[in-house]
Amino acid sequence: MKTIQALILALTLTAFAAGSLWAADPKPQTLCPVLAGNIDKNVYVDYQGKRFYFCCKGCDAAFNQDPGKYMKKLEEQGVTLEPSPAGADKK
């Protein structure tokens, strides 16, 4: 019985350690979701509590027309967005 308990404990600890190793590190946003250029941190939109950066002013306007499309694109790329500052609502 003790052998089975020890085996279960060992398997649980191994699974936990492996999960920690496989967990994705946060990937900051470096590319514009619209044109894929390098972001300019002065051009952004705060949307649903997240800050989205763009390469130029036209890209923020394109984002505002279909935010879900660009959110999905960044999600698929594994990008971790910065949270917007409390009360931020710049568009």
Task: Going residue by residue through the chain, which has 91 residues, state the pLDDT in tens, using 9 for 90 and above.
Answer: 778 766 566 666 565 544 444 556 789 999 999 999 999 999 999 999 999 999 999 999 999 999 999 999 999 999 999 999 876 655 5
Residue-level pLDDT at 4: 73
Residue-level pLDDT at 66: 96
Residue-level pLDDT at 26: 86
Nearest to 52 by CA among 70, 66, 37: 70
Torsion sign across C-alpha atoms 39, 49, 78, 27: positive
